[in-house]
Amino acid sequence: MKKFIISVISFSIMVFVAPSHAQESTKRTPETIDPSINVQVWSGRATAIDFSDVNEQITQIFLADPSRFTYATDTPLSNGQATTVFLRQIKPLKFPNLTTANVTNLFVKTKTSAGNPRLYTFNIQPGEENQPRYSTVNMAPIKASQINNLALELGDGRKATLGDIERGLVASIRLGYAPASDPVVSKVREFLALARNTSNKSLVEIAQNSNLSLRVLTELGVLGIEDSLKVRLNTLPNQIPTDSLKLPMVENSTNR
């Protein structure tokens, strides 16, 4: 989903810094979407992942294979103020029944300034020996316009963005197709929140994990597009004429 284009401050633009200190450069993730972020950790050095620029506090960390890497935070997670994760290589350890990998994944769950959860996925791997290229990975804000570009295929070359689906949900409640208390409405709202805060899954995957029918999302997407068009034309009717949109919003156990 999110493609993180990474710009690294290279040795050539580090003024008055000897090559042996070039590991102090910074790797930055711009405002894009990517399934995961690759992070290297060099022997004898630490690599920091910093969330200060996005104004998010770290709430939980999970390292899949702790046999080769360890982590710490700038302040205890329990106080709700941690913004930086520090990673280090360690000598390989053996844990009973635990599998190992040369490249493991790190999950970092954060809380935004608005209190919304967000999950980040990192691929952690050893850096090339004695060739450190950076020591800090700075997370950059995600533009709302880029999030809304995530789309669900509707067929006939049409796509529905998250904004379309959300608009369709509001319209379905307004038009009486589904009451606000309907459990499916809650599921759709949860889907929208997850889609906007998850960087490693497609909309289809998020819907499947939420046990939410793609048919429901498709109908809401179409409804949202139709509703948006009528807003532009200033002709909001009491009902949408498309017959397929008049179907009750019933959840199916099987995604289509």
Q: How far is CA 176 from the centre of its chain?
A: 32
pLDDT digits (tens, 9 = 90+) for 239-256: 434 333 333 444 443 344
Same domain, 155 and 63: no
Same domain, 18 and 137: yes
| 3-class SS letters over 105-119 | EEEEEEECCCCCEEE
- Identify the band that residue 235 occupies on the pLDDT scale cut at 50, 70 and 90: very low
Same domain, 92 and 21: yes
Looking at residue 69, which CATH number applies to its domain?
2.60.40
Q: Which of 138, 121, 141 is nearest to 205 (CA)?
A: 121
- Overall number of domains in the chain: 2
Residue 84 β-bridge partners = 50
- Classify residue 24: in a domain, yes or no: yes
CA distance 135 to 47: 5
Supply the pLDDT for residue 98.
82
Stretch 2-25: mean pLDDT, rounded? 30
Last residue in a domain, options 124, 141, 158: 141
pLDDT digits (tens, 9 = 90+) for 206-223: 888 888 888 999 999 999
Same domain, 118 and 177: no
Supply the pLDDT for residue 245.
37
Mean pLDDT, the chain, rounded, equals 75
Ranges of H-type helices in 73-182: 144-148, 162-174
- Classify residue 252: in a domain, yes or no: no
Last residue in a domain, options 141, 161, 193: 141
Same domain, 73 and 166: no
Spatial contact of 36 and 121, defined as CB atoms under 8 Å apart: yes
Last residue in a domain, options 92, 109, 141: 141
For residue 236, pLDDT beyond 50: no
Same domain, 132 and 197: no
What is the phi-psi region of residue 205: left when phi exceeds 0, alpha when psi lies from -120 to 50, beta otherwise? Answer: alpha
Supply the pLDDT for residue 251.
43
Supply the pLDDT for residue 35.
52
Supply the pLDDT for residue 147.
54
Residue 39 belongs to what domain range?
A: 7-141
Same domain, 51 and 29: yes
Same domain, 136 and 158: no
Same domain, 196 and 168: yes
pLDDT digits (tens, 9 = 90+) for 133-192: 899 999 877 555 555 457 888 877 788 888 889 889 998 998 888 888 888 988 898 888
Same domain, 95 and 29: yes
